[in-house]
Every structure is written in C-alpha cells, then in structure tokens.
Structure 1
Amino acid sequence: MKTTRVLALPALLALALGLGAAQAQSTPGTGTSATGGQAAPMAQPGTGTRNLPVKADKVARGDRKFIEEAAGSGMFEVQIGQLAAAKANDANVKSFASMLVDQHTAANNELIKIANAKGVELPAAPKRALRRDIEKLGKKNGDEFDRDFVRNVGIKAHEKDIKLFEKARKDVKDADLKAFVEKTLPVLREHLAAAEKLPQSGKNAAAMGAGQR
C-alpha cells in the first residue's frame, strides 16, 4: 500500500499542474504579459501614448503638430512654475508662479481632452531644451533665480507661446482646437503683461530711465 501511495503522488501533482495551466489559458481578461505579469493598464493622458482607440488621421497634420507643441510648452510652464512657486525669493514672483501653475494646468487638461477625442498622441515630457532650462534655473538662487524666471519664463516663453497661438488662430482647421486657441490666447497675454509689471522684468527700470532723460 505504501508503494502505491508514493507512485500516485507524482501523478496527482502532474494532474493539478495541468489543470492550473489550462485554467490560466482559458480564463478571459487576465491581461498576462510575455513576462508573466499583468499587462499594463490603458495609458493615462499625456504619457506619450494614446489612451483612446481613435484614428489620428481625422486631424490635419498642422493641427496635430500644434497640439503636440502646445502640450509640451504647457507642461514646461507648469513644471518650471512649480519650481518657482517653491524656490522664488520675492513673494510677488511666487504668486505669479503659482498663477502660471494653476492656469496652465487647466489649459493642459483641456488640451488633453481634445487630443484624446481626436486620437492625437501627446508628448510624455517637454522637449529636451525646455527640460534643460528647468535644470539650469534650478541651480540658481535668490534674486538671480527670480530675475531669470521672470525674464525667461514670464516674458520670453510667453512671447513665444503667443506667437504659436496667434499662428494657430489663423491656421488650425479643427473647430474644437480653434475654440481652445481663442480661449487660451488672452490668458497667455495676461501672463505676459503680469510678468512685465514685476520689478525683476527690467521693464519698469528701463521705462523710468527713459523718463529721466
């Protein structure tokens, strides 16, 4: 009897393993990957992959390019704004940075919805040059940090954004995208005007110097 039990054990184990493998193969929706783990969930907006199965060919090439550029610029504004909101020395610069974060985040979220509806793939991060700008600013401190943030982000970056949106205002074909441009362009102009009023912009000092001549 002992011999019979010992011989039966391997057979039982083989049967159990075979049943387990059959169940794993027949169970729907397990989402297993080639590595044996669960498949990755559907990508979230702005991760560099589409998260809705919509054909991107319904969007004009120029419209798609604008969406990608505006998304990258918007992410840059939020990330560098967060840095300045935490690190700026001047309270007014901190407040300006926080405003940029809030308003560019809202615009980014709206653009994400449009991109998802059109099936347009969004960049996962700002362009490399913009990421380097964030790193360079992060190495500065005090008044130098405030001045560079206001002049390079508050003024130069917004001047560039405004040109991008003004061109898109004339060129984009999609109605939803046109509405987004019309809504966002005045906000960008307000950001530029607010930056120019800050002492760190150098605009006020230049105007005062001209008035004293």
Structure 2
Amino acid sequence: MTSIKNKPFLPTSQRPLAGLLIVAAGLLAAGCDRGAPNTDANGMAPNTPAASGVGPGVGNSPTNAGAPPPDSPENSRTGSRVGIPQGSPEAGMATPENTPTTGGVGAVAPSPGAAASAAPPASGTSSTAPGPAVPLSASEKAFMAAAHVAGLYEIEVGRIGAERAQDTKVKALAGHLVSEHSVANDALRGLAALRNVELPTSLPPDRQADIDKLKKAPAAQFDETMVQAVVIPAHQDDIARFERAQQDARDPELKAFIQRTLPTLHQHLKSAQTLALPPKS
C-alpha cells in the first residue's frame, strides 16, 4: 500500500476521513491474510468421516452461514428441532421404518392391550360335549329297543302311505315319517353300538299284523285308516314313552337323543291330527 507519508499534505478538514480510510484498509488487510477456519478453498469444511459410516460426513456439506447451531432448542419459524430431520423418530413423526401402513397410508400400530383383546380365545376353554358315559340301566336298554321298533314301524307305515295315499297332504306326511324316523333310528343305532346294546331288527308279530291290515285297506278308506288308526295312536304312544325315558335316563347321550327326537314326534302327531279334522263348512 502507498504510505501516507508520500501523500501531499491534507487540509485539516479532510484529516478525519483519511484516518478512517487507514483503519478500514488495515482491517481489510488483516481479513485477507486470515484463512477461514476449518474450510477448504471451496468453502467446504474438512472431510470428516460420518459417524454411521454411510453417506457424507458432517463436514462434507457446504457451510450454512446464519443457520442455527444443531443443538439449538427450536426453530422459531418451523417449531421443530433444528438439526433433526423432519420425519425422524426424534421429531415425533411417523417414518416408513417404524409405522405400519394400510393401503399406502400410515396407520397407528395397535396397542398390546388391543392386540390381546382381539386374539381368539384358546381352544377348549368351553365345551358343550356330553358328560362321561355311565352304565345303562335295564330300563334305558328297554327304552332303546322299544324306540327302535317304533321307528321301524312308522318307517314302514310311511312307505305304504307314499304309495297308496290319495290326498297330497297325507302323502307329504308319509314322506316325513320315512325320512325323519330313519334319521332318528340311525342315531339310535350309533348310540347302541357305543353302549354295546343290541337292538331288534324286525317288527314283533302285533306290529306286523297292523302293517298287513294297512296294506289291505280299501283305497277309498286308506287315507283315513292310515291317519286315524295308525299314525295318531302310534305317535301318542311314542311321545308318552319318550317323556318317561326323559325323566329316568341317566346316560347323557341318550338324554340328548330323546330331547332331539321329541319335537319331531310332536310335529308328526300335530300334522296327523290336523288331517283328521273334518273340513270346515
């Protein structure tokens, strides 16, 4: 720089301005001589390895003059922590790594209590299975044999009625006798096999005689004979027999069979009694 001594003498009025220029020049020279601390020629901080080993280090980004320091409590304009990326767990926001999604939209993870309440109950906690079997009494065995014979009898009556009945409602009743008593007898045979009870497989002589009479009934009186002389009295006897056994039976599966079959017997009796009513004038 040019020394002030080589300058012509300045007037007194210009001396303060010259002093200020000298001070400014000195400060400028001092700033040019001092390099920016911890920066390279491009204004970058020294290349410091990243702590995680992934991505650039802390010093690999341009210096952001005027930005708040990383440990500043809060950015007054955004209300978020400075130096913490938005969307990180520290910022209190959900991220793709820690938030389940449904259809691409972030969803709140269920709480452990909600997951426990939604879990299905353990199997075997409640059961409606019958209790343990007990040895059958003589009356229980006798009931099973009589119920099976009654079923065989009504199945045969239904078969004859399906062939000979003229009234459509009588034919329909005959079909119910065949199908529903067959189901009941199948269940009874299964229970007898479990309890080692031998059931009769044919009708006794008195029941067979009734079947023979029904087969020979005149066509004009067949429907009335079947309903009045066979179906109604047979089901009245069946219901009385089942209701007595319901009170006396101790075997849980036998009681369950009785409870399932009684409504069917009542329905057959009701249908037959309706058919037997005289027509309304």
State whether TM-score is above 0.5: yes
**1:55-84 Cα deviation digits (max 9, x unpaired):** xx9321010000000000000000111011
Task: Report the Cα distance in structure 1 between the residues aligned to 2:227 and 2:208, rounded to whole angstroms.
Answer: 17
User: Over aligned residues, Cα RMSD in angstroms?
Assistant: 1.6
**1:107-154 Cα deviation digits (max 9, x unpaired):** 000000001110101102122111110000000132311101111232
Q: Does 1:70 align with 2:181?
A: no
Pick from 200, 204, 208 the counterpart of residue 123 of structure 1: 200
Task: Report the Cα distance in structure 1 between the residues aligned to 2:167 and 2:262, rounded to whole angstroms.
Answer: 27
Q: Does 1:83 align with 2:184?
A: no
| Matched AA of 1:108 | N
Classify the secondary structure of the residue corresponding to 1:126: coil
Higher helix share: 1
Matches for 1:18-167 after TM superposition, within 5 Å: 58-167=135-244
Name which one, 1 or 2, has greater alpha-carbon Rg: 2
- 1:20 corresponds in structure 2 to none
Asked whether the equivalents of residues 166 and 223 of structure 2 are also in contact (C-alpha less than 8 Å), the reply is yes
**1:20-71 Cα deviation digits (max 9, x unpaired):** xxxxxxxxxxxxxxxxxxxxxxxxxxxxxxxxxxxxx932101000000000
Task: Report the Cα distance in structure 1 between the residues aligned to 2:233 and 2:199, rounded to whole angstroms.
Answer: 24
| Matched AA of 1:152 | A
Tell me how far 1:194 sits from its aligned partner.
Answer: 0.7
| Matched AA of 2:233 | K
Task: Report the Cα distance in structure 2 between the residues aligned to 1:98 and 1:141, rounded to whole angstroms.
Answer: 21
Classify the secondary structure of the residue corresponding to 2:230: helix
| Matched AA of 2:168 | A
| Matched AA of 2:257 | F
- 1:181 corresponds in structure 2 to 258
Asked whether the equivalents of residues 155 and 181 of structure 2 are also in contact (C-alpha less than 8 Å), the reply is yes
Q: Name structure 2 gaps, 5 residues minimum.
A: 1-133
Identity %: 36
Equivalenced residue count is 148
| Matched AA of 1:173 | R
Structure number with the bigger relative contact order (C-alpha 8 A, sep ≥ 6) is 1
Task: Report the Cα distance in structure 2 between the residues aligned to 1:64 and 1:99, rounded to whole angstroms.
Answer: 27
Task: Report the Cα distance in structure 1 between the residues aligned to 2:252 and 2:230, rounded to whole angstroms.
Answer: 29
Q: Name structure 1 gaps, 5 residues minimum.
A: 1-56
Task: Report the Cα distance in structure 2 between the residues aligned to 1:70 and 1:165, rounded to whole angstroms.
Answer: 8
